[in-house]
Chain A
Amino acid sequence: MALDKPYLDIPGTIIFDAEQSRKGYWLNQFCMSLMKAENRTRFKADERAYLDEWPMTEEQKQAVLARDLNWCMATGGNIYFLAKIGATDGKSFQQMAGSMTGMSEEAYRNMMINGGRSVEGNRRIGENGDAQRPIAPKHQTS
């Protein structure tokens, strides 16, 4: 019998559930490794070589190299884990969140200062809100 996943019709959102977690296990564990300073240094020195030490899929590696967080999430990444890549790059959480919206950093910051994104039109896929664009990873090749 199918599992109950009532959240699949929310636009612009990937819920990190047990299925996503299974897909993203090595991607997220790679991110965890960046909690250690020596690993951050090694990753920055040769990103591809460091990624190749992990049994991640090629697509996951490409998504990390592209710093495309939507793509990372589609392949099983979770934002709290992916945030370790952002920390390694010296990015704030706001910069990371904003990078997934298609907005410029300044436009996203101004939206937050002005009260954030409205839920109107953004509750369900097919409504007329501003978060309805599909999560189509811009660099995705497969």
Chain B
Amino acid sequence: MAKITASVYTSHVPAIGAAMDLGKTEEASWQPLFAGYEYSKQWMKDNKPDVVLLVFNDHATAFSLDMIPTFAIGTADQYQPADEGWGPRPVPVVQGHSALASHIAHSVIQQDFDLTIVNKMDVDHGLTVPLSLMCGSLDPKTDQWPCPVIPFAVNVVQYPVPSGKRCFDLGQAIRKAVESYDDDLNVHIWGTGGMSHQLQGPRAGLINRDWDNAFLDKLIADPVAAAHIPHIDYVRDAGSEGIELVMWLIARGAMSDISDGKQTGIPPTLKHRFYHVPASNTAVGHAILENS
């Protein structure tokens, strides 16, 4: 049986990808951020998954205003790094896991989550920056990502976006779907985006260190409460783009201590926690949880 063994949470700021691609990780302004991921890169090597289900949002790259799916799962064999206007990031092509992805789509839809199924999609920084942070710089031609990735895109660009509660419940459905897959696969689920940031208007540049750290506390220790944070709290206190944090609740809801919307099992083990301000316009948060 396939099993979710761990969840990873991280911001996916595009400037982080640019800093890695341009070899700036040792510069004074970037070094403290990358130092926070040294543990994570080693952890990734020591706990190499067979598949990562990576929850992220597309930033007007694969999805224009032609189509705005609330939840979309990638069932393709591979995904090209997208050209977001600055040229594609020089990173390896992302290999998918179409068999597990199709299985998850089937199971999750039967659990009343009406997913959009995507067989063709380029993936932007929302997906590739977390991979780069966790796996380090890789050569696009000679290297590969350590495992296949199932992209799971959430609309957090056009309001209303799905609620934290809906995301948390979806995580539980994804766990059931994974556990009903016959092959023995070690699956990680990653929630990405956030933390506090606002990229628009006179309030651009908003950062809320206290709110972010309270959110991390809650996500780890009291996830049911975190799932009930209303949208308006994210927007008002963590900035208009801080709403991306609802995606972390999909990963948290998929951990084994959660069932029927409640925390009934043994809480996961916190392996690593990191917070840094700023990366460009954004507060960077990161955590790794392992199922006990």
Q: Which residues of A contact B249 (CB under 8 A)?
A: none
The residue in chain A whose Cβ has the minimal distance to the Cβ of B208 is A119
Which of B227-282 touch A at CB < 8 Å? 231-232, 235-237, 240, 277-278, 280-281
Question: Are B280 and A81 closer than 8 Å at their CB atoms?
Answer: no
Which of B197-236 touch A at CB < 8 Å? 198-209, 211, 231-232, 235-236
Question: Are B283 and A116 closer than 8 Å at their CB atoms?
Answer: yes
The residue in chain B whose Cβ has the minimal distance to the Cβ of A115 is B277
Q: Mark A81-117, 1 if CB is under 8 A from B, else 0.
A: 1011011100011101110111000001001110111
The residue in chain A whose Cβ has the minimal distance to the Cβ of B57 is A80
A80 to B61, CA, bound (A): 9
Given A70-B202, A80-B60, A119-B237, decide whether A94 and B85 contact each other with a Cβ distance below 8 A.
Answer: no
What is the size category of the interface that chain B forms with chain A?
Answer: 35 or more
Question: Are B60 and A81 closer than 8 Å at their CB atoms?
Answer: yes
Residue among B61, B84, B205, B235 with the highest chain A CB neighbour number at 10 A: B205
Interface of B is mostly: loop
A15 to B235, CA, bound (A): 9
Question: Are B15 and A122 closer than 8 Å at their CB atoms?
Answer: no
Any A CB within 8 A of the CB of B158: yes
Question: Are A98 and B205 closer than 8 Å at their CB atoms?
Answer: yes
A7 to B59, CA, bound (A): 21
Selected contact of B280 from candidates A35, A94, A117, CB within 8 Å: A94
Question: Are A80 and B211 closer than 8 Å at their CB atoms?
Answer: no
Question: Are B202 and A7 closer than 8 Å at their CB atoms?
Answer: no
A127 to B68, CA, bound (A): 35
Question: Are B281 and A102 closer than 8 Å at their CB atoms?
Answer: no
Of A21-29, A46-54, A57-65, the segment with at least 4 beta carbons within 8 Å of chain B is A21-29
The residue in chain B whose Cβ has the minimal distance to the Cβ of A22 is B65
A107–chain B nearest beta-carbon distance, Å:
10
Given A7-B235, A73-B200, decide whether A116 and B158 contact each other with a Cβ distance below 8 A.
Answer: no
Question: Are A117 and B206 closer than 8 Å at their CB atoms?
Answer: yes
Q: Which residues of A contact B134 (CB under 8 A)?
A: none
Question: Are A28 and B60 closer than 8 Å at their CB atoms?
Answer: yes
Q: Which residues of A contact B283 (CB under 8 A)?
A: 116
A83–chain B nearest beta-carbon distance, Å:
7
A29 to B65, CA, bound (A): 7
The residue in chain A whose Cβ has the minimal distance to the Cβ of B68 is A21
Q: Which residues of A contact B232 (CB under 8 A)?
A: 6-7
Selected contact of A10 from candidates B15, B61, B236, CB within 8 Å: B236
Any A CB within 8 A of the CB of B23: no
B58–chain A nearest beta-carbon distance, Å:
9
Q: Which residues of A contact B38 (CB under 8 A)?
A: none
A111 to B70, CA, bound (A): 34
Any B CB within 8 A of the CB of A18: yes
- List the interface of chain A (C-beta within 8 A of B): 6-7, 10-18, 21, 25, 28-29, 31-32, 34-35, 69-70, 73, 78-81, 83-84, 86-88, 92-94, 96-98, 100-102, 108, 111-113, 115-119, 122-124, 131-133, 135
Additional A-B contact list (6), CB under 8 Å, known A10-B203, A131-B202: A29-B64, A35-B84, A93-B14, A97-B204, A98-B205, A119-B236
8 example contacts (A-B, Cβ-Cβ < 8 A) are as follows A10-B240, A80-B59, A83-B85, A111-B205, A116-B205, A116-B206, A117-B207, A131-B201
